[in-house]
Structure 1
């Protein structure tokens, strides 16, 4: 072989290595960037002094659409290089049936344009979430990328508390909820969202620590726990501790049905003593006897209203993401005028019934409640049940429980919804593939 041929081969190999390094950097950047986009949003540190709660929820949607659309193209393209088989498994009966019903509900919506526009963003968010867990080639990459994203978000939140506390902490001068004064919210628009996110990050921080990055994981766990406590999010903190206990117990159970009872019975009970208390005097009495606010911080009023209007369109709903803020919430009876400014019903399952009717709620339960639990069971039986599966189970289960008191299913770019989606897709992949060590 000539010297020229050897040199050419060497250059080809070198060029190939440089090209692979660029791809690897792009994978890491896309993973971390997508998480930070969803977690920090395009509009962090919102000034609540002259805003309605609906304004906080909406955010800057034009840039959000553009950013998630761009990340959807990038992450899908990168994941398709090695993860085409993973994408193919998403064509399951549960996902396809739910997607088909949502498409029908967009057409039948009371505001088809609004539903169609919001579906575009929801699909972009879902595409990014489905791609993320296919980007890392090893658990080491996943652990390191997660650590960078979590610590970056925490750094931004704590810098906000130190440098711009008026934009990071609820104030007594906030016109909407002055009673929340002193509660930390960081980059988020409300302390409830901050609390929910910190609980989810706590689970992921524990995974980072258990996966071998002890220092980064311990820092993440400590900072998220401190922030969670200062949000004064009692529900999120209680549910977080409950999830840690229940998932530890579930790890020792092998029967799928026994595991389902242990993990899902609390979800049923939460909805019974919560939204069930406005339709049953017996459940209301039980709720009042418990050591908690029987009005669930005013949620019972909005649940009563939501159930009343849900009965009017029980089978079809009002359309995908189309009810709140629409013409259906006008001409309200005396005493319920506040509903015109509500962003959601503070119960994800009720909001799905309002949007997609009872068939949509049943399909959501099949895809997002039963499906991930079956995936965890399959991963466990396939000896793919390590710290990653445990962390994803915790994030998903916490999202299910919190949805009894908050509403973020299909809520466009909501950070808790996005994180829960990533966990559900991650469990789906772990049931079918093994991530290299």
Structure 2
């Protein structure tokens, strides 16, 4: 008996079926690998005993630029064929205007070469963050892959604490902040970054539990919660609880304006009673009556210096990522010498204004404060507000609140920034496309 002839169409079908498992493995490996690259970085467990934190987070590694450039090309090649509508949907007025203004600030920058170099890495990272969510074919696959990456990160951090405590726990001999001795930082350069990441992983663990991944969800949530406590990151702990509480009220508040009032009022208050205290004596007096450290652990001095600097270039700023650590800081008064060593102002909104001026700050608010909330509202109204949408909402909201005390907006491959950015793109896609369960 002779074999049945196989047509050209049949051979193509067989070849396609054979390639599918390989592509699935590639997609999963890329997704998990990119998350681990962002979360663990190329230089985990930095030794803080011999240099300042600004050296740890400078982000000037040429290899990192090249790696993200290659990843951008690979991600576009993998996703552009099947996901062109999703990629085209990113060309919204909010995103385009903000990106356009950033380009203007590069041209007008105090240091155009530095701004252009840092913008190039930011573009690579933004493209990777926008396309990574197009690799999974379902919500379950996305959460499963993210859960694997989270467990690897948590195992790395805990192993660091057990096997190399001098590189994963702040030491009294660290020259920058010896008062943090005993606070866990894991694979990260500072306990504040570790605390923020653990809060975000806690949100991920809750999402995994909600979709039926009980074992992974409980493991991620429990390990992240314990590590968060050991970082002694009071701000992240308080903000994590606030985010969980406020987002749990979302089913009770259905209108967009009601949700904006619920979620964004704390953001306004955090900035008014924080950075606003160096602008207004009235706000300073109000804050002094509250059970707060009115110096905000030294942040008030740096906020005052940043505001004084901003007044000189209010409308254009100093250029994209070209203020801190640059020649823009010169002729410092006695007692202000520390400003030459600072890497940011501990307020993301203030740093955006320093880099891109007040127009840039307004466009940032439109693109990553107002738009994501509108996207969640659209996803909810379209029946797409499940555990994944809530995960993105919580990471987004936590990032907004945290930026009132830390600075990571547009900070190239920064761990918190990229995780926050992925959540912004996630809300954007869920508002426009339905992902398989």
SS in 1 for 2:385: coil
State the TM-score, normalized to the length of structure 2.
0.98
**Distance apart, 1:8 and its partner CA:** 7.4
Deviations 1:256-301 (A, max 9, x none): 1011000000000000000011121221122122222111110000
Match of 2:211 in 1: 211
Deviations 1:235-254 (A, max 9, x none): 01000000000111123211
Q: In structure 2, do the counterparts of structure 1 residues 433 and 9 end up closer, same or farther at CA, with 3 Å as the change threshold?
A: closer
Please identify, of 11-20 and 400-409, the stretch whose mean Cα deviation from structure 2 is larger. Answer: 11-20
SS in 1 for 2:80: helix
SS in 1 for 2:351: helix
Match of 1:224 in 2: 224
Match of 2:272 in 1: 272
**Distance apart, 1:11 and its partner CA:** 5.3
Deviations 1:190-220 (A, max 9, x none): 0111111111111111111111111001000
- Partners of 1:202 and 1:326 in 2: how far apart? 37
Q: Does the CA contact (< 8 Å) of 1:160 and 1:167 recur in 2?
A: yes
- Partners of 1:273 and 1:352 in 2: how far apart? 19
- Partners of 1:329 and 1:322 in 2: how far apart? 10
Residue 251 (structure 2) pairs with residue 239 (structure 1):
no
- Partners of 2:12 and 2:319 in 1: how far apart? 55
Q: In structure 2, do the counterparts of structure 1 residues 312 and 2 end up closer, same or farther at CA, with 3 Å as the change threshold?
A: farther
Q: In structure 2, do the counterparts of structure 1 residues 4 and 256 end up closer, same or farther at CA, with 3 Å as the change threshold?
A: same
Hey, which of these two has a bigger chunk of helix by percent? Answer: 1
State the TM-score, normalized to the length of structure 1.
0.98
Match of 1:354 in 2: 354
Match of 2:259 in 1: 259
Residue 146 (structure 2) pairs with residue 162 (structure 1):
no
Deviations 1:289-347 (A, max 9, x none): 22221111100000000000001000000000000011111220111100000000000
- Partners of 2:247 and 2:129 in 1: how far apart? 23
Residue 64 (structure 2) pairs with residue 64 (structure 1):
yes
Residue 172 (structure 2) pairs with residue 172 (structure 1):
yes
- Partners of 2:143 and 2:28 in 1: how far apart? 11
Q: Does the CA contact (< 8 Å) of 1:109 and 1:115 recur in 2?
A: yes
Match of 2:136 in 1: 136
- Partners of 1:75 and 1:228 in 2: how far apart? 32
- Partners of 2:96 and 2:147 in 1: how far apart? 33
Q: Does the CA contact (< 8 Å) of 1:191 and 1:233 recur in 2?
A: yes
**Distance apart, 1:353 and its partner CA:** 0.4
SS in 2 for 1:86: helix
Residue 326 (structure 2) pairs with residue 310 (structure 1):
no
Match of 2:290 in 1: 290
- Partners of 1:174 and 1:81 in 2: how far apart? 50
Task: Flag structure 2 segments of 5+ consecutive residues without an equivalent.
Answer: none
Deviations 1:211-238 (A, max 9, x none): 1111001000000000111111000100
- Partners of 2:398 and 2:379 in 1: how far apart? 19
**How does 1:419-430 map onto structure 2 within 5 Å?**
419-430=419-430
Q: Post-superposition, which runs of at least 4 consecutive aligned residues in structure 1 deviate over 3 A?
A: 6-14
- Partners of 1:10 and 1:350 in 2: how far apart? 61
- Partners of 1:169 and 1:408 in 2: how far apart? 22
Q: Does the CA contact (< 8 Å) of 1:319 and 1:356 recur in 2?
A: yes
Number of residue pairs matched by the alignment: 437
Deviations 1:150-177 (A, max 9, x none): 0011111111111111000000000000
Task: Flag structure 1 segments of 5+ consecutive residues without an equivalent.
Answer: none
Deviations 1:70-116 (A, max 9, x none): 22112222122321110000000011101110001001101100000
- Partners of 2:87 and 2:110 in 1: how far apart? 33
Residue 185 (structure 2) pairs with residue 185 (structure 1):
yes
- Partners of 1:433 and 1:30 in 2: how far apart? 22
Match of 2:281 in 1: 281
- Partners of 2:120 and 2:63 in 1: how far apart? 14
**How does 1:3-14 map onto structure 2 within 5 Å?**
3-6=3-6, 12-14=12-14
- Partners of 1:52 and 1:133 in 2: how far apart? 35
Please identify, of 14-23 and 84-93, the stretch whose mean Cα deviation from structure 2 is larger. Answer: 14-23
- Partners of 1:81 and 1:233 in 2: how far apart? 43
Deviations 1:7-41 (A, max 9, x none): 97765443222211111111111111111111011
**Distance apart, 1:146 and its partner CA:** 0.8
- Partners of 1:284 and 1:194 in 2: how far apart? 30
Please identify, of 74-83 and 126-135, the stretch whose mean Cα deviation from structure 2 is larger. Answer: 74-83
Match of 1:385 in 2: 385
- Partners of 1:207 and 1:107 in 2: how far apart? 43
Residue 54 (structure 2) pairs with residue 51 (structure 1):
no
SS in 2 for 1:173: coil
Residue 97 (structure 2) pairs with residue 97 (structure 1):
yes
SS in 1 for 2:83: helix
- Partners of 1:64 and 1:381 in 2: how far apart? 40
